């Protein structure tokens, strides 16, 4: 069991910081390299969204990353106190983006790489993204 809480400014540079922290914590559990790569992508997407959309690229907002490891996996919470999302269901649709220059795939990656994604948001107050990844035991063919 381990728990990490980080609070950092809404700077693009801190996306990398969050990725590395998530990878380092995941490395303490039985996640494979492949699992860790996917966890890093999911964390990047959530933190990027907080910076780009939540704070509209303003560098003076707080982003909080809370990560918890237990026997069965890892829970990750990314929180911002930015503009919030008017329609979460629509925002989660594949290829939906507020910005026509973006792909609208962040939530799709989070959803496909993690085992459970919950998004809570209030307009003008901020957004919470909670994700869970289970440790899955991969049994090789030779061992069967």
Ligand X SMILES: Nc1ncnc2c1ncn2[C@@H]1O[C@H](COP(=O)(O)OP(=O)(O)OP(=O)(O)O)[C@@H](O)[C@H]1O
Q: Which residues are catalytic?
A: 45, 49, 102
First to last CA, the chain: 30
Which of 11, 77, 97, 130 is close enough to bind ligand X by CB under 6 A?
Answer: 97
Nearest distance, CB of residue 129 and ligand X, angstroms: 7
Query: What's the CA gap between 112 and 70, in Å, rounded?
Result: 21
Nearest distance, CB of residue 64 and ligand X, angstroms: 12
Q: What is the b/e burial string over 60-72, where b = at least 16 CB atoms within 10 angstroms of the residue's CB?
A: ebebbbbbbbeee
Position 54 contacts Mg ion (CB under 5 A):
no
Give the burial class of 75: count Cβ atoms within 10 A of its Cβ; 0-12 exposed, 13-18 middle, 19 or more buried. middle
Stretch that binds Mg ion, among 32-40, 100-108, 124-132, 135-143 (CB under 5 A): 100-108
Look at residue 54 and give the partner it binds from ligand X, Mg ion, none, a contact being a CB closer than 5 to 8 Å depending on partner kind: ligand X
User: Can you give the binding site for Mg ion, defined by CB under 5 A?
Assistant: 49, 106
């Amino acid at each position: 069991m381990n728990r990490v809480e980080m609070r950092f400014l809404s700077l693009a540079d801190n996306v990398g910081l969050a990725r590395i922290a998530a990878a380092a914590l995941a490395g303490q559990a039985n996640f494979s390299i492949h699992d860790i790569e996917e966890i890093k992508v999911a964390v990047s997407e959530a933190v990027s969204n907080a910076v780009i959309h939540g704070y509209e690229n303003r560098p003076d907002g707080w982003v909080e990353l809370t990560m918890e490891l237990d026997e069965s996996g890892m829970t990750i919470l990314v929180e911002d106190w930015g503009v919030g999302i008017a329609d979460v269901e629509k925002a989660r649709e594949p290829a939906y983006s507020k910005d026509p220059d973006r792909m609208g795939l962040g939530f799709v990656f989070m959803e496909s790489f993690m085992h459970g994604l919950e998004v809570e948001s209030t307009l003008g107050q901020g957004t919470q993204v909670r994700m869970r990844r289970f440790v899955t035991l991969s049994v090789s063919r030779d061992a069967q």
